[in-house]
Chain A
Amino acid sequence: MRDWPDWLEGMRPDDLTSVRLRSSILQAAEPLLEARRDDLWDVASRWAGLLTPVAAALVLVFGGLAVRGEVADESLTLTAVEPTPDLVELLHAEVAPAGFSEFDTNDDVVFAALGEAARQRPRSMLP
């Protein structure tokens, strides 16, 4: 900013005027500046309000993909077990007796089975 020209020296405000004028300008400006600050917060809040659901959706999508990836990896590991002789024997021992899966839906058969179970229960277990 250039120096104040000599011939305009008398047009410069004196110190008292400067102080008074500056103070009154800043005082009058304060509510407007405050409104501008509030507007800025409003804008930030609006953006935050808009972006929160989007961020949540992204977390869900990417989080879900990550979990599914892990599950897929684990199942892959299980199917890759080597069939050793011990394991084959163990699996044979676990096989259900013949006719196990051929259940009868007839009520009489079910009640007869329940009565048999009650008779075989030790007496100490009875109330």
Chain B
Amino acid sequence: MLGTVPTGRRDEAELVGLVQGGDATAFDELVRRYMDRGYAVALSILGIPQDAEDAVQTAFIRALERMDQLRPGSPFGPWFYSVLRSTALNLRRRESLRSHEEIPVSASGGSNPERELDRTLTRSRVLAALEELPEQQRTAVILYDLEGYSHREVAEILGVAVGTSRAHVHHGRKALRDHLGPVIELETEEE
């Protein structure tokens, strides 16, 4: 294997360079950084855990195939989320064409049943609330809250103007607060 990467935080541009040279450890580091949050984004778009897993896996493979398109020094995260979003939207479009049996949200299980039940209930509530929002609004809110991206970065991922991104986050959070209560903060928006 070429250039084995020691564990620990590494500059993302450096990781991308190593992955472009075929370094498996560097790729694993990117997967560990973005997999869980990517899963949450995909789940918010698709609503079904199994589909979210498929979307995340496909997005990572697509990102790897197109890694050379990433400009040197550009951050991996926003670019990856735009790949993930388009992958999830394609999957949703394809899945909507055929009827399929929905897999229960709690199908994967876990080591602590009480915690898993709690997680499942929370997830169901959040997914139901997100379902009420247009896709761009929900993705904007998730990326803004989960990754702490700026409106500029969210706008880049969604392919919209910065003002539109700001409006999506504002209206999306307001609608989510109506559904989920004060767990959604309204006054922390930047820019």
Scan residues 79-113 of chain A and give those whose CB is less than 8 A from a CB of chain B.
Answer: none
Task: Tell me the nearest residue of chain B to A39, going by C-beta.
Answer: B22
Interface of A is mostly: helix
Q: Pick from B59-67, B83-91, B153-161, B164-172 the stretch touching chain A.
A: B59-67
A33: which B residues are within 8 A, CB to CB? Answer: 19, 22-24, 27, 64
User: Is there an interface contact between B35 and A16, defined as CB atoms closer than 8 Å?
Assistant: no
A119 near B: Cβ within 8 Å? no
| Contact indicator B36/A36 (Cβ below 8 Å) | no
- Say yes or no for B96: interface residue by CB 8 A criterion: no
A-B contact pairs, 7 of them (CB 8 A): A5-B145, A7-B184, A14-B108, A25-B57, A29-B61, A35-B22, A38-B22
Q: Which of chain B's residues have a CB closer than 8 A to the CB of A38? A: 22
Most buried by A among B40, B111, B121: B40
Size class of the A contact interface (CB-based, 8 Å): 35 or more
> How does the 8 Å CB contact mask read for B45-57 relative to A, with 1 for contact and 0 for none?
0000100010011
B180 contacts A37, CB within 8 Å?
no
Which residues of B from 83 to 119 have beta carbons under 8 Å from A? 108-111, 116, 119
Q: Which residues of B lie under 8 Å from residue A15 when comparing CB positions?
A: 110-111
B16 in the interface (beta carbon within 8 A): no
Q: If A7-B126, A40-B22 touch, does A17 touch B184 (CB 8 Å cutoff)?
A: no
Is the C-beta of A18 less than 8 angstroms from some C-beta in chain B? Answer: yes
**Residues of A14-45 contacting chain B, CB below 8 A:** 14-18, 20-22, 24-26, 28-30, 32-40
Find out whether the CB atom of B126 lies under 8 angstroms from the CB atom of A40.
no
Verify B64–A14 contact, CB threshold 8 A. no
Q: Are B27's CB and A29's CB within 8 A?
A: yes
- In the complex, which residues of chain B have a beta carbon less than 8 angstroms from the beta carbon of A117? none
